[in-house]
Amino acid sequence: MPDWATIASLATAGTTLVLAFATFASVRSGNRTARAAERSLQVSLRPLLGPSRLQDPTQKVGFADDHWVHVPGSSGAADVTDRAIYLVMSLRNVGSGIAVLHGWTLSTDRQPGNPNHSNVDSFRRLTRDIYVPAGDLGFWEGAFRDPERPEFAAARDAIQARRRLFIELLYGDHEGGQRTVSLFSMIPRDDGGWLVSVARHWNIDRADPR
């Protein structure tokens, strides 16, 4: 005679195994869907800064001490006084999210082909929040205000000698994530102005694209 108890136990075990596989597949599918949704949200918030276009309008940028600078499209400014050095770049956000600028560094002797960015902890913090809208025009401004500091002298000498300036900007999305470092150059022009270009981008909070 059949052992109905054994048969019932095997049937129950088989059903449980099938349900376990179904649950596992459902969880995996749900996780994939959640990751895809998260990536889609991040892309929608992600900023990416570059120089503005030549045809973009001139921007008037002010500093806390009422020093004012005018920067045309795709241009920068570097004003030197006895007490301060004022730096400005005209930017455009080519990403899909608002860019919030966090900090910056200036180098006058960066080696060509250097694949690394400066340590994030070494960036100079901005004294106010600067936002660049998605797909729109904006700017960056920074200043040296202590003539006794070596970086003041280095920046002054490079500007007066009309040498290329290398500026790294640290920024992220408006929720504080997806931080990026972008390397910009301010290149001296024959007319006395400065042309802005971008050379490289580094992702800080996610994998780099290269």
The CATH number assigned to the domain holding 178 equals: 2.60.40
Residue 87: band (very low, low, confident or very high) from pLDDT cuts 50, 70, 90: very high
Report whether pLDDT(104) > 90: yes
Average pLDDT over residues 170-186: 95
Q: d(Cα 157, Cα 108) in Å, to the nearest integer?
A: 9
Residue 182: band (very low, low, confident or very high) from pLDDT cuts 50, 70, 90: very high
Q: Are residues 54 and 3 in the same domain?
A: no
In a domain, 5, yes or no: yes
Q: Are residues 103 and 133 in the same domain?
A: yes
Q: Are residues 58 and 31 in the same domain?
A: no
In a domain, 31, yes or no: yes
Residue 112: band (very low, low, confident or very high) from pLDDT cuts 50, 70, 90: confident
Report whether pLDDT(10) > 70: no
Q: Are residues 171 and 118 in the same domain?
A: yes
In a domain, 210, yes or no: no
CB atoms within 10 A of CB 183: 20
Q: Are residues 32 and 78 in the same domain?
A: no
Average pLDDT over residues 75-102: 97
Q: Are residues 180 and 83 in the same domain?
A: yes
Q: d(Cα 135, Cα 72) in Å, to the nearest integer?
A: 18
CA-closest candidate to residue 171, choices 145, 143, 205: 205
In a domain, 166, yes or no: yes
In a domain, 149, yes or no: yes
Q: Are residues 122 and 40 in the same domain?
A: no
Q: Are residues 192 and 104 in the same domain?
A: yes
Report whether pLDDT(184) > 90: yes
- Does residue 51 or residue 14 have the better pLDDT? 51
Average pLDDT over residues 128-147: 97
Q: d(Cα 29, Cα 6) in Å, to the nearest integer?
A: 35
State residue 23 phi and psi, 5-degree precision: -65, -45
Fill in the DSSP letter of residue 121: G
In a domain, 54, yes or no: yes
pLDDT of residue 116: 92
In a domain, 140, yes or no: yes
Q: Are residues 20 and 85 in the same domain?
A: no
Range of the domain at 186: 48-203
Q: Are residues 89 and 41 in the same domain?
A: no
Q: Are residues 26 and 53 in the same domain?
A: no
Q: Are residues 34 and 115 in the same domain?
A: no
Average model confidence (pLDDT) across the chain: 88
Structural domain total, the chain: 2
Report whether pLDDT(83) > 80: yes
In a domain, 170, yes or no: yes
CA-closest candidate to residue 161, choices 93, 102, 80: 80
